[in-house]
Amino acid sequence: MSSSDERIFPARRDFLRSSAMVAAATGIAGSAVAYGAANAPDRHAPGTRTTQVRLTVNGQSHTLDVDTRVTLLDALREHIGLTGSKKGCDHGQCGACTVIVEGRRINACLTLAVMHDGESIVTVEGLAGNAALSPMQAAFVRHDGFQCGYCTPGQLCSATAMLEEVRAGMPSVVSADLAATPTLSAGEIRERMSGNICRCSAYPNIVAAIKDAAGVDA
Amino acid sequence: MKAFTYERATSPEAAARAAGAQVNTRYIAGGTNLLDLMKIEVETPVHLVDINRLGLDRVEEGKDGGLKIGALVRNSDLAADPRVRERYPLLSRALLAGASGQLRNKATTGGNLLQRTRCYYFYDTSKPCNKRAPGSGCAAMEGFNRIHAIVGTSTQCIAAHPSDMAVAMRALDAVVHTVSPEGDTRHIPIAELHVLPGNTPQIETVLRPGELITAVTLPPPPKGVQVYRKVRDRASYAFALVSVAAIVDVAGGKIGDVRLAFGGIAPKPWRDEAIEQAIRGVSADDASLRAASAGLFADARGHGHNDFKIALARRTLGAVLAEAVS
């Protein structure tokens, strides 16, 4: 397996310590928007229904004034204009909205933007570096890991972070030995990617692409 | 989604105070269940207290050889913790059998315990539901009830508790630690955390308004083989039709100490002393265990579409016991 991408996983999580993830520098100079630190104590004061949220998305800092109800997905799509992350079901069932927050893949539709104030997010737009496709993106192209493409941004973010989970030694329910270091197989990939639905059913090619990107023999 | 105000708590005690200060306040942790319900306005809190950055996200060794799990430990982290994988593989398996990778990265220990039922009619605000709208009736009784409970139900509600994690914790005799808005702490055995629906299906736990779960402790692992098996409609990312958490110790060719908890069949993580009693002393071979399991769940009652769960619970138990002694 290739080493993890420091841009996407700035601070690899350490399961052994189970410590809280801390935001780490991304190493990319973002065009930081001025952020009024003096206002910070009031941002989440009781009684307010709009709130200021600072998000670092694909290395770029954004400061937004949002209704407390705005999900992270809507903040990305509607407020920041990054429409790569897709709204499929909007209920955490399809995975089309998967983004990587502080190095972890999550459903952006089932979390509020305000809950992620100060955190770093990578969307499908941030996977490629300097216009070159990421290894996972290139593998999806090579193996035709899509038909309509609607689920693809979520598949890509999910698969990219999933490989990082395997590198960190995280087991899955199909791992025969929980204590052992997990090894990727088609069965492991299918289990670990079950949160990403593809209605075109491109699953065989998606699995092949992920195996390829992970350097696992097909 | 109804409008709400939001605040980020700075300590567990401050969170509980904030939650106690205003009616219809909810804590938000992972949010994967609460926000889902808020979008369809089954949950309509006026205020959210964000408890994500309270430092309750650590797993620590207990003084007694057990573990103390912070309420905000994510399901994925708990499943991957080396101590859980080694000493409580039952819990690790149960966690990994639940939801998806993305959801496990968000879902928390405390939130998992308090997740709401996936009864279709609880979600469908156009239908009666005594849990969502007390006194309105139960659409599941005469409706599609394939996923519903077969034990512990009432004439008011047949919804099943959806958790895998809680079933494993029930077998492990976990203890739930809380703090109240007044600052009082208490320790609740998991057996007593959830309550049966009776005539008040809207009341699901013994937690009082504003009471915050801060941690779950596990006693040292009991002697025996640990097995978690989940039977569901698809191989991954689906709720249990029936799940069994078993801790089985064999002595002298017979079943000795045994703990059996069930998911998917009851309004709460289900454990029945009579079932354990019936299995104790049974010859530890495949045929005897399957035969003993076949006579259990005599009190179970189906509601039409879920009648199959009675046989499925018996057979899954038999298969799990056979696996444990193999």
* Structure confidence by residue, pLDDT tens digits, A126-172: 999 887 999 999 999 999 999 999 999 999 999 999 999 999 999 99
Q: What is residue A9's predicted lDDT score, i.e. its pLDDT?
A: 86
Q: Do A69 and B3 touch (CB under 8 A)?
A: yes
List all residues 6 or more positions away from B25 whose beta carbon is below 8 Å from its beta carbon. Answer: B18, B19, B45, B46, B47, B48, B49, B210
Q: What is residue A11's predicted lDDT score, i.e. its pLDDT?
A: 60
pLDDT above 50 (res A16): no
**What's the rounded mean pLDDT across residues A98-117?**
98
Helix (H) or strand (E) holding B95: helix B89-97
List all residues 6 or more positions away from A40 whose beta carbon is below 8 Å from its beta carbon. Answer: none
**CA–CA dist B281, B250 (Å, integer):** 9
Closest by alpha carbon to B162, among B85, B107, B101, B102? B107
Whole-number percent of chain A with pLDDT over 70: 80
Which residues of chain B does A194 touch, with a Cβ-Cβ cutoff of 8 Å?
100-101, 235-237
Angular region, B179: left φ>0, alpha ψ -120 to 50, beta rest:
beta
Count interface pairs A-B at CB distance under 8 A: 132
Owner of token pair 């512990």: B152
Contact in structure between B66 and B222 (CB atoms under 8 Å)? no
Contact in structure between A193 and A159 (CB atoms under 8 Å)? yes
SS3 B231: strand
Closest chain A residue by Cα to residue B37: A91
Q: Do A44 and B58 touch (CB under 8 A)?
A: no
Contact of B136 with chain A, judged by CB distance below 8 Å, is answered with: no
**CA–CA dist B201, B274 (Å, integer):** 25
Maximal C-alpha separation, chain B: 63
Contact of A165 with chain B, judged by CB distance below 8 Å, is answered with: yes
Contact in structure between B228 and B94 (CB atoms under 8 Å)? yes
Fill in the amino acid letter for A68.
T
List all residues 6 or more positions away from B190 whose beta carbon is below 8 Å from its beta carbon. Answer: B113, B166, B169, B170, B173, B174, B175, B176, B216, B269
Closest by alpha carbon to B37, among B130, B123, B120, B98? B123
Q: What is the mean pLDDT of each run of 10 residues along chain B (326 residues)?
A: 96 97 96 98 97 97 96 98 98 98 98 98 98 98 98 98 98 98 98 98 98 98 98 97 98 97 98 98 98 96 98 98 96
Among A residues 14-43, those touching chain B with beta carbons less than 8 Å apart: 15-16, 18-20
Which residues of chain A does B93 touch, with a Cβ-Cβ cutoff of 8 Å?
173, 178
Q: Do B237 and A194 touch (CB under 8 A)?
A: yes
Mutate to test the interface with B, among A9, A12, A15, A192 (most CBs of B within 10 A): A15
Contact of B92 with chain A, judged by CB distance below 8 Å, is answered with: yes
Owner of token pair 């209605």: A199
pTM given for the model: 0.93
pLDDT above 60 (res A174): yes
Whole-number percent of chain A with pLDDT over 90: 74
* Structure tokens that stand for B234 in this block: 């698809």
How far is CA A190 from each of CA A71, A177, A203, B95, B100, rounded to the nearest angstrom?
28, 17, 8, 17, 11
Tally of CB atoms within 10 A around B216: 27
In the structure, what pLDDT confidence band is assigned to residue A98 with cuts at 50, 70 and 90?
very high
Contact of B118 with chain A, judged by CB distance below 8 Å, is answered with: no
Mean pLDDT estimate for chain A: 86
Among B residues 234-273, those touching chain A with beta carbons less than 8 Å apart: 235-237
Closest by alpha carbon to A57, among A119, A6, A115? A119
Contact of B103 with chain A, judged by CB distance below 8 Å, is answered with: yes
**CA–CA dist B73, B69 (Å, integer):** 7
**What's the rounded mean pLDDT across residues A52-81?**
97
3-state helix, strand, coil in chain B (%, to 5): 30, 20, 50
Q: Where are the beta strands (DSSP E) in chain A?
A: 50-57, 60-67, 98-101, 104-107, 120-122
Which residues of chain B does A192 touch, with a Cβ-Cβ cutoff of 8 Å?
101
**CA of B299 to nearest chain A CA: how many angstroms apart?**
32
Q: Where are the beta strands (DSSP E) in A39-157?
A: 50-57, 60-67, 98-101, 104-107, 120-122
Q: What is residue B118's predicted lDDT score, i.e. its pLDDT?
A: 98
Among B residues 210-229, those touching chain A with beta carbons less than 8 Å apart: none
**CA of B232 to nearest chain A CA: how many angstroms apart?**
14
Q: What is residue A45's predicted lDDT score, i.e. its pLDDT?
A: 56
Q: Which of B7, B18, B236 sits opposite A194 (nearest CB)?
A: B236
Contact in structure between B137 and B175 (CB atoms under 8 Å)? no
* Structure tokens that stand for B262 in this block: 């069930």
Q: What is residue A27's predicted lDDT score, i.e. its pLDDT?
A: 35
Closest chain A residue by Cα to residue B10: A44
Tally of CB atoms within 10 A around B184: 11
Closest chain A residue by Cα to residue B82: A16
Contact of A106 with chain B, judged by CB distance below 8 Å, is answered with: yes
Q: Do B236 and A68 touch (CB under 8 A)?
A: no
Contact in structure between B230 and B240 (CB atoms under 8 Å)? yes
B67-70: strand order across its sheet: B59-61, B67-70, B212-218, B175-179, B185-189
Among A residues 65-84, those touching chain B with beta carbons less than 8 Å apart: 67-69, 71
Contact of B125 with chain A, judged by CB distance below 8 Å, is answered with: no
Q: What is residue A20's predicted lDDT score, i.e. its pLDDT?
A: 33
Helix (H) or strand (E) holding B318: helix B308-325
ipTM field: 0.97
Q: Which of B30, B77, B89 sits opposite A15 (nearest CB)?
A: B77
**CA–CA dist B227, B322 (Å, integer):** 10
Q: Do B31 and A158 touch (CB under 8 A)?
A: no
Burial of B54: CB neighbours in 10 Å, binned 0-12, 13-18, 19+: buried
